[in-house]
Amino acid sequence: MDNYKIAVATSDGIVVNQHFGHANQFYIYEVHDKNFTQTEIRHVNPACISKEHDENAVLKNLKLIEDCRFLLVSRIGTYAQQQAENLGITPFEIPHMVEDALKKAVSFVEIQNLFERN
């Protein structure tokens, strides 16, 4: 079965409520089979101030979560999305309760695995 990490942009650990560029922390969840556990919180400096983003800060923040397979956010800009994908991180705009968003990501992996086996 799959073992991987998911980074979640949340201010409170309850709701996926942070835009990638405005996030100052990412909750990291480890997924083993279909179960997930929060293992750490990684603090970052927000990459966007006002409406401007700092490309170096975007890359620095993505490097801090590069070991994660997925990134769950309320919003993500085109530049950050492309850079995440270049690092092998799949971002999802999924402004839901964290637990529900994680379940959806795990289900996505299960569906991918079904297609890869056939």
pLDDT at site 33: 84
Q: What is the mean pLDDT of the chain?
A: 92
How far is residue 55's CA from residue 108's CA, in Å, rounded to a whole number? 29
pLDDT band at 2 (very low <50, low <70, confident <90, very high): confident
For residue 34, CA distances in Å to 14, 45, 49, 86, 102 come to 19, 31, 37, 26, 10
How far is residue 71's CA from residue 83's CA, in Å, rounded to a whole number? 12
> What dihedral angle (degrees, nearest 10) is formed by the CA atoms of 113, 115, 117, 118?
170
pLDDT at site 1: 52
**Would the pTM of this model clear 0.85, i.e. be above it?**
yes
Q: What is the pLDDT of residues 18-65, one digit of tens each?
A: 999 999 999 999 999 889 999 999 999 999 877 777 899 999 999 999
Using alpha carbons, select from 20, 16, 25 the residue that is nearest to residue 79. 20
